[in-house]
Amino acid sequence: MPIQDTQEFINELEKHGELKRVETEVDPDLEIAEILRREMYSNGPAILFENVKGHSMPVLGNAFGSMKRLEIGLEMTDFTEIGHRITDMTKMDMPSGFLNKIKKLPELSKMTASFPKPESSGLVTEVTSTDASFDDLPIIKSWPNDAGRFITLGLIATKHPETGVRNLGVYRMQIIDKTHASMHWQKHKRGANHGEISKDKGEKIPTAIIFGGEPATVFSSIAPVPEGLDKYLFAGITRKEGIKTVKCKTIDLDVPANAEIVLEGYVDPADIRDEGPFGDHTGYYTPVEPYPTFTLTGIMRRKNPVYLTTVVGKPILEDAYIGKVIERSFLPLIQMFHPEVVDFSMPAAGWFQGFAVISIKKRYPGQAKKVMMGLWGTGQLTLTKMFVVVDEDINVHDMNDVIWAITTRADAARDTTIINNTPTDTLDPASPLVNLGSKIGIDATQKTKEEGYMREIQQQVKVDEETKKLVDSKWSDYGL
């Protein structure tokens, strides 16, 4: 059985020595964040703060801050499995004829098993109320110059106002007062798109803030899934079993039945207020900007819930590991559209939107640039500011190997591509304008004569097989 909820996840982490409990009283104002940062930077465990000043609710942090913890939560070691499940579904032919349908039943049942399962009640419906306040939650302040307390790992649920396709996203929220918070959904995010459609209709958009649930649901909310794919279905594909959902009490939305807490309300696109500053995952404070406002109308929660949070800042922190799983899980999807791609890496130090390395099996001139242009037109990769394309013999996860390829196979004038006036990540501190900047691509593949390389290609230095076998056979005799 896949892990069903956050508290089961906590038990699994503890069983594997991946969680520590802190019984000393801690303050949600700056203290919790500083403890978490120190543990994250030193590859420390997940932490459950059991004695939070002013609150009876424990706080869980750094829950996904290692590949081991993500392996436990998602119950797999090869995260490309997730992408392969999606690509396999897209290739599945619908059977015709009774006998063929019988033969296809096992495959079809795997697909339907991933769909969400509506329930009349669940763990999150144990306590419900329309008298809700943000003050009831141990919401943290992370950095000294932050504008206040921020929700940092709330899963923001909306649905497309026209198609009804459900979305989950992680957008920070600045607390304004007991029932209002700024919704920082950036222009390029799906939640913001839903908000814009509602604004054009002159409507408010029903919105829920979800804390906790199945680890696969948390991962699904962060993952940049293909447009039109229901995030709840993606969570089911990830865990190979559909998640249970329940209806909210005050708004028309489905939410995970096994969540710890659900805050119900709506975002009013016409109610715009200043948000920020906030110490972000780029390592800089995001400046003050206008964003729409969320109004709280109700709460559902477990009797004894755990509040899930995270802190961000200069890499490498907890979000880096989630980003690495996203990178691995979406490799098969990239390869489906660009079959020459061998591997793909978005190093954590580049905050996963700033820099990517792609290795390809090169077959023709200009192929590296073809791949760059294709990826710059694909989903959230549109916002990636720097691409380096290398040959298949280069390990994209070894920056020493990548730097060697750049310095031995790329000429600055010939192999650098710069594109101006392109979309950039809203949080990019270097772009000359918010949401608009430039891209750079470096073709670090071996060049051919067709690409203007008129010299003889130099031979790489490699050990001969005879000497390699000799040294292999005598290695234990050397005493090294």
| pLDDT single digits (tens) 47-70 | 999 999 999 999 999 999 999 999
Grade residue 187 by pLDDT with cuts at 50, 70 and 90.
Answer: confident
pLDDT of residue 100: 56
Grade residue 106 by pLDDT with cuts at 50, 70 and 90.
Answer: low
- The active-site residue out of 5, 230, 280, 415 is 280
Look at residue 108 and tell me whether its pLDDT is greater than 80: no
pLDDT of residue 105: 44
| Contact (CB, 8 A) for 115 and 242 | yes
Beta-carbon contacts of 118 under 8 Å, excluding residues fewer than 6 positions away, are 244, 245, 246, 247, 254
Look at residue 448 and tell me whether its pLDDT is greater than 90: no
Lowest mean pLDDT among 27-36, 223-232, 412-421: 223-232
The pLDDT tens digits for 454-480 are 888 888 888 999 999 999 999 999 998
The pLDDT tens digits for 201-219 are 889 999 999 999 999 999 9
CA distances from 371 to 151, 337, 366, 382 (A): 37, 10, 9, 13
To the query of whether residue 280 is one of the catalytic residues in this protein, the response is: yes
Q: What percent of the chain has pLDDT over 90?
A: 70
Per the model's pLDDT, the better-predicted residue between 226 and 241 turns out to be 241
Dmax of the chain from CA atoms? 80
Grade residue 195 by pLDDT with cuts at 50, 70 and 90.
Answer: confident
Measured CA to CA, the distance from residue 102 to residue 305 in angstroms comes to 45
Grade residue 103 by pLDDT with cuts at 50, 70 and 90.
Answer: very low
Q: Specify the pTM.
A: 0.86
